[in-house]
Amino acid sequence: MTPADLSAAIVRVLQALQSRGVLGAGDLPTEVVVERPKNRDHGDWATNAAMQLAAKFGMNPRAFAELLAPELAALAGVTKVDIAGPGFINLTLSAAVAGELVREIVTAGEAFGKGNDLAGLKMNLEFVSANPTGPIHLGGTRWAAVGDALARLLQNQGAEVTREYYFNDHGAQIDRFARSLLAAARGQETPEDGYAGEYINEIASRVLAETAEDILALPEDAAQEAFRAAGVELMFQEIRESLHDFGVDFDVYFHENSLYESGAVERAITKLRELGHIFEADGAIWLRSTTFGDDRDRVVIKSDGEAAYIAGDLAYYLDKRERGHDRCIYMLGADHHGYIGRMMALCSAFGDEAGVNLEIMIGQMVNLVRDGEPVRMSKRAGTVVTMEDLVDAVGVDAARYALTRSSINSSLDIDLEQLTKKTNDNPVFYVQYAHARTKQVAKNAESLGVTRETFDASLLTHESEGELIAALVELPRITAQAAQFRDPHRVARYLEDLAGKYHRWYDNCRVTPLSGGTVELVHQTRLWLNDAAGQVLRNGLRLLGISTPERM
């Protein structure tokens, strides 16, 4: 019996009480909170239903609980019902009923933990979208790890997810990039507003080496254009490779430039004009975004005839929607929070529902720390830490895990030296080790003749077994919640907790008999529990995009 089952059972009891007239008229909830009490003495599960509902029926919580208790005690598998504190109802289940879940987990296998909260929804998740003017650094690496995990979580709830990367290959910054390459190729100093760094020199040399014609002999404009085209392409390849090595592959790499080439920008503006949200002033074309709560109207086409950045955003959003995406999620860095107002406004301007069809997640910064002191990252000083640097230092799993286990609302400090020197400190190993241990235990058990022929849930009576089972059955709730709140870190924290419960169980309950002992039913049954733990750890790690080694 899962907590969800218990919740449903309690609701049925409430309905029965009402239909018998024991309970007066009033709306009943469709589910009640059933959770694991912190204190083990309070039973296996607890509900605050009486406290939540008593006032509605004009009763005090304890009296309400008294009404409910005998009915709950009569449920199959419930061995004890207590009323405690202000009106908590504590339930204790028989070991057999609790343990039966172990068989369900093993039977469900990889499907355990899946849900269908988002079934039928087509979702577009845009993340990273770093400019192709340099390698991906720590901030982008965070979104890569979190975004990919979130995509997995949304898919896990039945959504059809498109992972998308918006590739800003249009505009002034790209010109700066091209000029920087050209200068580097000529051995000149970096332009005032240009990009510097070893990678600029490398790309400049590669462009020279891989282009047949002599670029440097071309007129200025043509030379710059040649470096722009080839340089962006090389940078793009590098970014895509880094991401791939990081375990993140996008379904769509969308080129901003294509919006201009295809006329999509024009179409988007025309559509908004028809809707009455476009006006002209001071020689520029504006979106009247203040109609939709933005704090100022936005220039779409500048007075010099060039498109402002938001022009691309308009066309891009429209394009996503026309491709059939019900929900468009943008993951942006904290430096883009001022963006939310205009983005929501453009969503509304198209007649969509802001916050539903368009959703923006703002993630805070990643800082580099050394010996507890913040390290100022500077492109010029060459102290920018890239995705590749991080992976080289700590490996993909540790990097992804470190970036995923915290809420994106918190800024994150990464101490590269600490992660480099003492990788054992990283909690990912604690979780992966637990998984590897389940594999090793199973292997030993099999070699000692412990089979899976029999499973008798009533034998799982040790306290650590009850704790472990209760944690295992939480996976579906955790993954559903993580998807709903867009919080992959909940899965990581859950796994750490689960790993601890598994290690504790391992220390208390042997799957294999002591030498000289005989294999008994309890050993076979525990092998099932061991398998279930391995399965849940595996399912959880996969949702985070972390590997599941069988030995470490």
CB contact at 8 A, 261 and 280: no
Pick from 309, 326, 454, 462: which binds RNA (CB under 7 A)?
Answer: 309
Q: Which is nearer to RNA, 29 or 171 (CB)?
A: 171
Indicate the residue among 244 and 337 with the shorter CB distance to RNA. 337
Q: Which is nearer to RNA, 111 or 552 (CB)?
A: 552
Residue placing its CB nearer to RNA in the complex, 32 or 182: 32
Compute, in degrees rounded to 10, the torsion defined by CA atoms 433, 111, 102, 480: 80
Q: Which is nearer to RNA, 20 or 376 (CB)?
A: 376
Site membership for RNA, residue 372 (CB under 7 A): yes
Residue 52: alpha-carbon gap to chain centroid: 32
444 binds RNA (CB under 7 A): yes
Q: Does 518 bind RNA (CB under 7 A)?
A: no
As a whole number of angstroms, the distance between CA 63 and CA 77 comes to 24
Q: Per CB under 7 A, does 292 bind RNA? A: no
Considering the rule CB under 7 A, would residue 379 count as an interface residue with RNA?
no
Q: Taking the complex as a whole, how short is the minimal distance between the CB of residue 139 and RNA, in angstroms?
A: 10
Residues 127-156 close enough to bind RNA by CB under 7 A: 131
Residues 88-127 that bind RNA (CB under 7 A): 88, 90
Q: Are strands 366-370 and 412-415 parallel, antiparallel or unpaired?
A: parallel
Contact between 105 and 143 (Cβ < 8 Å): no
Q: Does 170 engage in binding with RNA (CB under 7 A)? A: yes
User: Binding RNA by CB under 7 A: which of 18, 42, 206, 462?
Assistant: 42
Stretch that binds RNA, among 65-73, 197-205, 246-254, 438-446 (CB under 7 A): 438-446
DSSP E strands in 175-316: the ranges are 252-255, 278-281, 284-287, 298-301
27 binding RNA? (CB under 7 A): no
When asked if residue 412 is in the footprint of RNA (CB under 7 A), the reply is yes
| Cβ contact 98:457 at 8 Å | yes
DSSP secondary structure string, 35-61?
Answer: E--SSGGG-SEEE-HHHHHTGGGT--H
Residue 34 — φ and ψ, nearest 5°? -125, 120
Beta strand spans in 389-528 (E):
412-415
CB nearer to RNA: pick between 146 and 328: 146
3-state secondary structure of 119: coil
Residues 171-210: x/- map of binding to RNA (CB under 7 A)?
xxxx------------------------------------
- Cα–Cα distances (Å) from 119 to 108, 123, 161, in that order, read 19, 10, 11
Q: Which CB sits closer to RNA, 23 or 50?
A: 50
Nearer to RNA, 19 or 424 (CB): 424
Size of the residue set binding RNA (CB under 7 A)? 89
Q: Which of 27, 213, 282, 453 binds RNA (CB under 7 A)?
A: 282
- Distance (Å, whole) CA 124 – CA 336: 19
- Give yes or no for residue 357 binding RNA (CB under 7 A): no
> Does residue 406 contact residue 489 with C-beta atoms inside 8 Å?
yes
CB burial string 296-322: b at 16+ within 10 A, e below: ebbbbbeeeeebbbbbbbbbbbbbbbe
**Is 97 or 436 the residue whose CB approaches RNA more closely?**
436
Pattern 384-403, RNA, x by CB under 7 A: --------------------
406 lines the binding site for RNA (CB under 7 A): yes
3-class DSSP state of 332: strand
By beta-carbon proximity to RNA, the closer residue of 36 and 267 is: 36
- Tell me: does residue 258 bind RNA (CB under 7 A): no
Location of structure tokens 């907790």: 497
Q: State which of residues 146, 329, 398, 445 lies at the interface with RNA (CB under 7 A).
A: 445
CA distances from 339 to 272, 330, 331, 333, 362 (A): 19, 11, 11, 10, 10
Which of 46, 67, 387, 399 contacts RNA by CB under 7 A? 46
Q: Which residues contact 5 (CB under 8 A, 6 or more apart)?
A: none
**283 near RNA, rule: CB under 7 A:** yes
**Contact assessment for residue 76 and residue 88, using Cβ atoms and an 8 Å cutoff:** no
Please pick, from the candidates 1, 51, 69, 185, the single residue that binds RNA as defined by CB under 7 A: 51
The helix-helix angle for 475-484 and 3-19 (nearest 10°) equals 90
Q: Which of 56, 240, 288, 336 binds RNA (CB under 7 A)?
A: 336
Window 476 to 495, contacts with RNA (CB under 7 A): 485-487, 489-490, 493
Query: Looking at beta carbons only, is 19 or 39 nearer to RNA?
Result: 39
Stretch that binds RNA, among 100-108, 201-209, 349-357, 406-414 (CB under 7 A): 406-414
Write out the two tokens for 324. 């059939």
DSSP 216: G
Phi, psi of 294 (to 5 degrees): -70, 155
Binding positions for RNA, 231-250, rule CB under 7 A: none
Q: Which range, of 101-109, 151-159, 218-226, 302-310, touches RNA by CB under 7 A?
A: 302-310
Binding of RNA by 337 (CB under 7 A): yes
Q: Using the rule CB under 7 A, which residue among 299, 346, 403, 457 binds RNA?
A: 299
Report the alpha-carbon angle 125-129-135, nearest 5.
140
Contact status: 293 vs RNA (CB under 7 A): no
Q: Which is nearer to RNA, 233 or 496 (CB)?
A: 496
Gap between the terminal Cα atoms of the chain: 35
Binds RNA by CB under 7 A, chosen from 115, 158, 191, 500: 500
Q: Exactly one of 11, 73, 84, 218 binds RNA (CB under 7 A); which one?
A: 84
Task: Report d(CA 72, CA 17) in Å as an integer.
Answer: 11
Beta carbon of residue 257, minimum distance to RNA (angstroms, whole number): 10
